Chain A
Amino acid sequence: MINFTVKFQYGTPIYEQIVYAVKKAIVTEQLKPGDQFPSVREMSKELRINPNTAQKVVAHLVREGLLEIKPGVGSVVSGPSMATKAQRDKILNNEVEKLIVESKRLSITKKEVVDAIICNWALDNKEGKK
Chain B
Amino acid sequence: MNSTIETRDLTKRFGKNMAVQGLNLTVPTGSIFAFLGPNGAGKTTTIKTLMNIMEPTRGSSMVLGVDSKRLGPKEFTQIGYVSENQEMPEWMTVNQFLNYCRKMYLTWDNKFCNDLIDQFNLPLKQNLKSISRGMKMKAALVSSLAYRPKLLILDEPFSGLDPLVRDEFVSGMLDITGGENWTIFISSHDLDITGGENWTIFISSHDIDEVERLADWVGIIDRGLLKVVEQTEVLQNRFRRVELTLQEPIDIKLNFPEKWYLPKQQGRTVHFFDSQYETGKSEAQICEIFPTCSNMEVSGMSLREMFVVFAKKFKISEL
Interface residues of B, CB < 8 Å — how many? 24
Partner of B213, one of A11, A12, A41, A49: A49
Q: Could you tell me if B214 and A50 are in contact, using CB atoms closer than 8 angstroms?
A: yes
Given contacts A10-B301, A11-B300, A13-B236, contact A52 B213 (CB under 8 A): no
- Is the CB–CB distance between B170 and A51 below 8 Å? no
Assess whether A14 is interfacial by the CB under 8 Å rule: yes
A-binding segment of B107-115, B144-152, B171-179 = B171-179
Are A49 and B214 in contact, with the CB atoms below 8 A?
A: yes
- Which residues of chain A are near B192, meaning CB under 8 Å? none
Chain A nearest CB: distance from B309 CB in Å? 13
Residues of chain B lying within 8 A (CB to CB) of residue A45: 171, 174
Instruction: Tell me the minimal C-beta distance from B40 to chain A in angstroms.
Output: 29
- Chain B positions within 8 Å of A48 at CB level: 170, 210, 213-214
CB distance from A15 to the nearest CB of B (A): 8
Expressed in whole angstroms, the Cα–Cα distance for A49 and B32 within the complex equals: 10
Q: Are A8 and B213 in contact (CB under 8 A)?
A: yes
Closest to B177 in A: A51
- Say yes or no: is B237 at the interface (Cβ < 8 Å to chain A): yes
Which residue in B170, B177, B210, B236 is a CB contact (below 8 Å) of A10? B236
Separation of A41 and B138 alpha carbons in the complex (Å) = 21
A59 at the interface (CB under 8 A from B): no
Closest chain A residue, CB of each to CB of B31: A52
In the complex, are the beta carbons of B216 and A12 less than 8 A apart? no
Q: Which residues of A contact B301 (CB under 8 A)?
A: 10-11
**Residues from chain B with Cβ under 8 Å of A8 in the complex:** 209, 213
Q: How many residues of A contact B (CB 8 A)?
A: 17
CB distance A50 to B210 under 8 Å? no
**Which residues from A are CB-within-8-Å of B174?**
41, 44-45, 51
Q: Is B215 an interface residue (CB 8 A)?
A: yes
Which residues of B lie under 8 Å from residue A14 when comparing CB positions? Answer: 213, 233
- Shortest Cβ distance from B283 into chain A, in angstroms? 11
CA distance A66 to B183 in the complex (A): 30
Chain B contacts of A41 at CB under 8 A? Answer: 174, 177-178
**Is A119 at the interface (CB under 8 A from chain B)?**
no
Closest CB in chain B relative to A101 CB, distance in Å:
11
B266 at the interface (CB under 8 A from A): no
- Would A9 and B300 count as touching, CB distance under 8 A? yes
Is B302's beta carbon under 8 Å from chain A?
A: yes
Q: How far is the CB of A129 from chain B (nearest CB, A)?
A: 26
B30 touches A (CB below 8 Å)? yes
Interface: A47 (CB within 8 A): yes
Which chain A residues border B31 with CB–CB below 8 Å?
52
Nearest Cβ distance between residue B175 and chain A, in whole angstroms?
8
Which chain B residue has the least Cβ–Cβ distance from A8?
B213
A residues apposed to B, CB below 8 Å: 8-14, 41, 44-45, 47-53
* Interchain residue pairs with CB less than 8 A apart (27): A8-B209, A8-B213, A10-B300, A10-B301, A11-B237, A11-B239, A11-B240, A13-B236, A13-B237, A14-B213, A14-B233, A41-B174, A41-B177, A44-B174, A44-B177, A45-B174, A47-B213, A48-B210, A48-B213, A48-B214, A49-B213, A49-B214, A50-B214, A51-B174, A52-B30, A52-B31, A53-B213
B residues neighboring A (CB under 8 Å):
30-32, 170-171, 174, 177-178, 209-210, 213-216, 233, 236-237, 239-240, 299-302, 305
